[in-house]
Structure 1
């Protein structure tokens, strides 16, 4: 799954520069471009982008006015030559404020922040009971020189790997390391879809094809991919609706 982007700037060269930087990252796609504030609002409403790169000084509505009038609040990164509007931009909850000309490294930092905000919006608020739609539907993984967006629907199982979690997906033979804890990730995933079966394992319930009970209340869990995982006695209740009484 890719993150959609809207580029808004009245300078063609500025739009081309952002377009070039985004083209080097497969996780992002440009859905539209605008050279004025009025068109920016129309295109934002039409495409509902995940990220907007927004200039400030433009014909018609300026960038700050555009941000204030957005019906939904995507991750907004201001890209401008005017430093004096930075405080106002951050008061409006902008993700970042890039001063032209900016380096590819600085642009990358802004993308990291935007992805963090998007993931945060999709995460379930702490200490609340939330509908399933509040669970994350994608994870952002930092690889050297790039951001990788992993669709949760593509995840088969997850295992602990020290200070990281190792995410096994359908679409790739390799797994992906994400710097997170099992406990934190468990809270982000829909329990109707995923189950914590061990302190070091989370599985997609629909991928389970066989359960092999042990003699101490534990069990071995066989997945469609052939992986054989251990279900601890402590976590057996997570699969009770699938297998009934595991005693």
Structure 2
């Protein structure tokens, strides 16, 4: 698929550098540039571009303001010098998140992802969701089909909710066990995952563990009303404490 791109950045040199890097990717054609939201919308209207390289901090504007105006088929790659916006963009359905200065290999990774999607329709991202300040302002739960965009180890990456087998507490971080057996350390504590993951699919079995119910193979009674929870692909069972076993019975009947 040939992609027509618009580069949105309020720094001319940054636009020039990204345009130069994109010359190594023949399936990407730069159809225009813009330094403002209005300018970006005009370029998109005139060119029919289906890809936007979007800076977040524009002069007096936020790149996020562009997202609600995009057609569903327009893919978005964020290009910014500020990695903290990735944390706010927990639910953003963007293709990738590149940090300035853009490394050629990271751009190549993003373009490989774009090529794999081919002509599949890309959902336009929505605005970032702020973290909840109290229980009355809890963010909406994610669906099983959602993809997360977060810091994994030392880089930003995407993770499908459906690919999570379990989430384990690790201080102010968490360890995500994926369906393919990887263990990913992420900068979000377990309490945030408990609030965000779909409760019809994920269940807290211990104050330090949250599991995907579809991945539970069996429960074995263990000691003093607690259970061993055996997950697919995991040689060592997790423990369901007696207190949480009582909650599970009340919740699931």
Please tell me the TM-score bracket, short chain as reference.
Answer: 0.5 to 0.7
| C-alpha spacing 1:148/1:221, structure 2 compared with 1 (3 Å) | same
Distance 1:160 1:8, change over 3 A: same
The aligned residue for residue 197 of structure 1 is: 205
- Between the aligned partners of 2:20 and 2:151, the Cα distance in structure 1 is 22
| Distance in 1 separating the partners of 2:64 and 2:234 | 52
Q: What are the residue-to-residue correspondences of 1:203-214 with 2, within 5 Å?
A: 203-214=211-222
2:87 pairs with one of 109, 116, 120: 116
Q: CA deviation at 1:166?
A: 1.0
Q: 1:53 aligns with which of 34, 55, 63?
A: 55
Matched, 1:232 2:241: yes
In 2, Cα distance between equivalents of 1:130 and 1:179: 18
Q: Which runs of 5 or more structure 2 residues have no equivalent in the other structure?
A: 23-27, 71-78, 92-127
Alignment partner of 1:190: what SS?
coil
> Structure 2 vs 1, CA of residues 72 and 167 (structure 1 numbering), >3 Å: closer, same or farther?
same
Equivalent pair of 2:90/2:148 in contact (CA under 8 Å) = yes
In structure 2, how many angstroms separate the alpha carbons of the residues matched to 1:132 and 1:31? 37
In structure 2, how many angstroms separate the alpha carbons of the residues matched to 1:65 and 1:168?
Answer: 38
Segments of structure 1 that go 5 or more residues without pairing to the other structure are 23-29, 57-62, 75-106
Q: Are 1:218 and 2:226 an aligned pair?
A: yes
Q: Does 1:183 align with 2:191?
A: yes
Change (3 A) 1:130 1:149: closer
- Contact preservation (8 Å) 1:123, 1:188: no
Query: Matched residue of 1:226: which SS?
Result: coil
**Is 2:135 the counterpart of 1:127?**
yes
Tell me if 1:143 matches 2:125: no
Q: Does 1:14 align with 2:14?
A: yes
Report what 2:75 is aligned to: none
Residue 35 of structure 1 aligns to a residue whose secondary structure is strand
Q: Does 1:166 align with 2:170?
A: no
Provide the C-alpha distance between the structure 2 equivalents of 1:53 and 1:200, rounded to a whole number of angstroms. Answer: 37
Q: How far 1:168 moved relative to its partner? A: 0.9
Is the 8 Å Cα contact of residues 147 and 158 (structure 2) preserved in structure 1? no
* Residue 117 of structure 1: how far off its partner (Å): 2.2
Q: Over aligned residues, Cα RMSD in angstroms?
A: 4.6
Which residue matches 1:72?
Answer: 68
| Aligned CA distance change for structure 1 residues 217 and 69 (closer, same or farther; 3 Å) | closer
Q: How many pairs were matched up?
A: 193
C-alpha deviation, 1:175, in angstroms: 1.1
Q: Distance in 1 between matches of 2:151 and 2:165?
A: 16
Please give the alpha-carbon distance, in whole angstroms, between the structure 2 residues aligned to 1:233 and 1:241: 13
- Mapped contact 1:211–1:221 kept (Cα < 8 A): yes
**Counterpart residue number, 2:161:** 152
